[in-house]
Amino acid sequence: MSPRRRDAESTAAARAERRAELLATAAEVFASRGYAATTVREVAEAADMLGGSLYYHFDSKESMVDEILSAFLTELWAAYDKVTGSGLGARETFEALIVESFRTIHRHRPAVVIYQNESKHLATSPRFSYLTESQRRFREMWLAVLDRGVTDGVFRADLDTGLIYRFIRDTVWLAASWYRGDGRLPAEEIARQYIAMVLEGILTT
Amino acid sequence: MSPRRRDAESTAAARAERRAELLATAAEVFASRGYAATTVREVAEAADMLGGSLYYHFDSKESMVDEILSAFLTELWAAYDKVTGSGLGARETFEALIVESFRTIHRHRPAVVIYQNESKHLATSPRFSYLTESQRRFREMWLAVLDRGVTDGVFRADLDTGLIYRFIRDTVWLAASWYRGDGRLPAEEIARQYIAMVLEGILTT
Amino acid sequence: MSPRRRDAESTAAARAERRAELLATAAEVFASRGYAATTVREVAEAADMLGGSLYYHFDSKESMVDEILSAFLTELWAAYDKVTGSGLGARETFEALIVESFRTIHRHRPAVVIYQNESKHLATSPRFSYLTESQRRFREMWLAVLDRGVTDGVFRADLDTGLIYRFIRDTVWLAASWYRGDGRLPAEEIARQYIAMVLEGILTT
Amino acid sequence: MSPRRRDAESTAAARAERRAELLATAAEVFASRGYAATTVREVAEAADMLGGSLYYHFDSKESMVDEILSAFLTELWAAYDKVTGSGLGARETFEALIVESFRTIHRHRPAVVIYQNESKHLATSPRFSYLTESQRRFREMWLAVLDRGVTDGVFRADLDTGLIYRFIRDTVWLAASWYRGDGRLPAEEIARQYIAMVLEGILTT
DNA sequence: GATGAATGAGCTTTCATTCAT
DNA sequence: AATGAATGAAAGCTCATTCAT
């Protein structure tokens, strides 16, 4: 490996690292103030620079949320795919998905908040069509698990699975709004209690 | 009643009605596009007027959300207070509160959506301090019901009531985002299924 | 005189009186808040009506100032012309003009304030060309008196008459800004002291 | 001096210089068109920029007048304080104050015009309370000089000093409206003739 | 004569974005 | 990489004016 190449690599790596840093900062600000209500100046200030300087790193404000959300969704689906591809039963799949969701909230809290608050609005633009697509997959995945559970006689048959899906979706993602990693309840414990509450309600007894 | 008085009354009534109409329109638009992202011109357009004309009826964009939210909260608390003042047991209170919540969503859907999406941000301004206050009361009310249920042996003691409170809060209010009054599921049926799901999970068996 | 004609006359008279009332009110408001900074609504409010109602009486906000100023100037020039046509000497003319000026201020205080504050700005519009014309006549009249006084050996020759003219003009009209008819100093006493000061100076002799 | 420090200094200096330039332009426009009647766009145009660009340098239109007026008053009072602190007699103080006033007009003509035309209106806002305060000090200072002159037998006792103060104040500051630095009469000559007129009168003796 | 609702132009201000340095 | 000045579109809001009643 030539020194030249090493330089190029370390430069590229340093640049990527800087981007990641800036995106983390931006995500924090977008999450706390709301995307539309946050100015580029505020993001820059949080990163100790001036407004114009961000444009060296990013094309636009929109491209920042874009990167934040797509990075989060990519990682989320990697985790989900691993679970659904493991050949677990309906109940075990249900539990594993809940646990993965709370783990993701733990690692990507600001991104989850942004996703929760802004995705409906952003999704109207073609650039963010992947948000709609993700939501569709999300719905299919959960309905499949719930329906399989009903078919297998594991979940109650007298409740509307569409309704249950919505309740689960809402609680899980809204948890990002109040979840604090430093609280007395770690992500795993929240997942455990959440599973206990929901499962013992929808299970046949 | 003199004609003069009748005139004054009908004029004042007509004005109040017009305000209500405009507020309903504004609420719809704020709910669907987001308060910050909605322009006054858009609200006016939805009401078939020009931007400036709205200012004959309202002081500012802010005063519109203010009226929308406070009208909704006033009605909501009237319903809640009636329930909590009826001397019902923990479980019956729980059920009645859920039913009232879904009924309010049915009648004030756009206001609920706005409340859900914007109140965190709006509450930072002194003008909207009643939002914070309402949230505090809301929390106290639910915790009281849940704790009483635990004490009375009606609700399970091994779950964190703070956590349960949050799950309930999030699911109930977020329901406004997807609820459509014209759907196959009326508010009462949604409430019934929701109660079934949650209660049979947190009840001692 | 037919009753019909009397009605028409009394109606016309009543209308003229109402206009005069409204103009007096408007002058007061324009004088205290400034013409540009005063809204039509404020004028109307001071006259106990709604904004639109003024347009029954007047074409526009501009036509109100127009009437206020031209009425004032008409009366002022009638008084001035009487003085300059009386064949008085330079000093007596000087004194008489000062006295008439303060009398006009006494009767038309708000109009004078408006004239002082706004005429420079208004005069740029063709509609108000009479303001420029009036100012020109005013200058000519005073310079004639002062120059005649110098020629006659009544006024000092070592002072620039253009400068003296300006000083007189400024002090006399600005007096409207602080003059209050109810004060301890009536218009005539102010005129007397003013004349004494300008003619003889403030030094002891 | 390190290069870094020099850079910082020259940058800060350049910025201050630019602000001063823009303020001078704004003062010119405010003075000629009136503050309320001047639009921000007009100020910007006079400075060869677009309306929004001014907001990089100033918070608001109001903050521009604020800076213009307070800079002028600061300098004016520095000059006045020097005079009144010199232990001169009443007549010499009088003359020196007049001279300083005309010198200030010479250097700050637009600011003086703005002060004259707008301060009454601006002073109602707390932000401009210093205008009221300045006017109070101004009155006290002049009355002290005039009263001392009367006591010392230098000034006539048969004239109302309150009245004289007002005449002096009005003429001196209104002079800014017509004074042109390029005219045949320099500030000092105007001051000389003005002093002669007020002290000795315009009559031949 | 007056009301009240609406108009529409124009204002101050904000803010994402650009670009020379 | 970052600065700082400027752009220009668009926002919230004001206000003189109109007009049916």
Percent of chain B with pLDDT over 70: 92
User: Is the CB of residue D46 inside 7 Å of nucleic acid strand E?
Assistant: no
| Amino acid at residue number C22 | L
Nearest to D141 by CA among D193, D194, D85: D85
* pLDDT of C13 higher than 60: yes
In chain D, DSSP assigns E strands to none
Report pLDDT for B1.
42
State mean pLDDT over B108-136.
94
User: Is the CB of residue C34 inside 7 Å of nucleic acid strand F?
Assistant: no
Interface residues from chain B to A (CB-CB < 8 Å):
33-34, 36-37, 117, 120-121, 158-160, 163-164, 166-167, 170-171, 174-175, 177-178, 185, 190, 193-194, 196-202, 205
- Cβ atoms of residues A106 and A113 within 8 Å: no
Tell me the backbone φ, ψ of residue C61, rounded to 5 degrees. Answer: -60, -40
Produce one character per residue of D3-23: b if its CB has 16 or more CB atoms within 10 Å, e if not.
eeeeeeeeeeeeeeeeeeebb
**Strand E neighbours among B 38-67, CB < 7 A:** 49-53, 55-57
What tokens does B178 get? Answer: 């997807």
Percent of chain C with pLDDT over 70: 94
Report pLDDT for B35.
94
Bases of chain F with protein Cβ within 7 A: 1-20
**Distance separating alpha carbons of residues D84 and D82, to the nearest angstrom:** 6
**Distance separating alpha carbons of residues D95 and D84, to the nearest angstrom:** 11
Instruction: Calculate the angstrom distance between C1' of E21 and CA of A53.
Output: 13
Domain ranges within chain D, ordered by starting residue = 1-58, 61-205
pLDDT higher for C183 or D13?
A: D13
State mean pLDDT over A83-95.
94
pLDDT tens for C101-145 read: 999 999 999 999 999 999 999 999 999 999 999 999 999 999 999
Report pLDDT for C157.
93
When pLDDT is cut at 50, 70 and 90, the band that residue B131 belongs to is: very high
Matching CATH number, B59-202, of 1.20.1250.20, 3.40.50.2000, 1.10.357.10, 2.40.30.110: 1.10.357.10
Nearest to C170 by CA among C202, C140, C135: C135
* pLDDT of D32 higher than 70: yes
* pLDDT of D30 higher than 90: yes
pLDDT tens for C138-161 read: 999 999 999 999 999 999 999 999
* pLDDT of C69 higher than 50: yes
Report pLDDT for D6.
46
Bases of chain E with protein Cβ within 7 A: 1-20
3-state SS class at D90: helix
Instruction: Calculate the angstrom distance between C1' of F2 and CA of C161.
Output: 64
pLDDT tens for A123-167 read: 999 999 999 999 999 999 999 999 999 999 888 888 888 988 988
Residues forming beta bridges with residue D203, ordered by sequence position: C155
Instruction: Calculate the angstrom distance between C1' of E1 and CA of C11.
Output: 12
> Mean pLDDT, chain B, as a whole number?
89
Q: How far is CA A90 from the centre of its chain?
A: 23
- Residue B127: which residues within 8 A CB-CB, separation 6 or more? B62, B66
Provide the 8-state DSSP code for D157.
S
- Cβ atoms of residues C27 and C110 within 8 Å: yes
**Residue of A163, A172, A173, A192 to mutate, testing the B interface (most B Cβ within 10 Å of its Cβ):** A163
When pLDDT is cut at 50, 70 and 90, the band that residue B15 belongs to is: confident
When pLDDT is cut at 50, 70 and 90, the band that residue C89 belongs to is: very high
Report pLDDT for B180.
81
CA C131 to chain D, closest CA, distance in angstroms equals: 17
**Distance separating alpha carbons of residues C109 and A81, to the nearest angstrom:** 85
- Residue B98: which residues within 8 A CB-CB, separation 6 or more? B168, B172, B191, B194, B195, B198
Report pLDDT for D119.
92
Unique residue bearing structure tokens 């006259």:
C47
> Mean pLDDT, chain C, as a whole number?
90
**Distance separating alpha carbons of residues B100 and B106, to the nearest angstrom:** 10
Report pLDDT for A46.
95
**Distance separating alpha carbons of residues D49 and D37, to the nearest angstrom:** 19
Q: What is the CATH number of domain D61-205?
A: 1.10.357.10
Burial class (CB in 10 A: 0-12, 13-18, 19+), A104: buried
Report pLDDT for D1.
41
State mean pLDDT over C69-93.
96
Residues of chain A positioned with their CB less than 8 A from the CB of B170:
170-171, 174-175, 177
* pLDDT of C66 higher than 90: yes
Matching CATH number, D1-58, of 1.10.10.60, 3.40.50.720, 3.40.50.300, 2.60.40.1180: 1.10.10.60
The CA-atom distances, in angstroms, between A83 and each of A166, A193, C68 are 20, 20, 85
D163/C185 touch (CB, cutoff 8 Å), yes or no: yes
> Mean pLDDT, chain D, as a whole number?
90
Report pLDDT for D9.
56
The CATH class for the domain spanning C60-205 reads mainly alpha
pLDDT tens for A57-71 read: 999 999 999 999 999
**Strand F neighbours among D 18-77, CB < 7 A:** 18, 49-53, 55-57
Look at the alpha carbons of B192, B198, B200, B202 in this order and tell me if their dihedral is positive or negative.
Answer: negative
B160/A193 touch (CB, cutoff 8 Å), yes or no: yes
When pLDDT is cut at 50, 70 and 90, the band that residue B4 belongs to is: very low
Report pLDDT for A54.
95
* pLDDT of A8 higher than 60: no
**Distance separating alpha carbons of residues C78 and C134, to the nearest angstrom:** 12
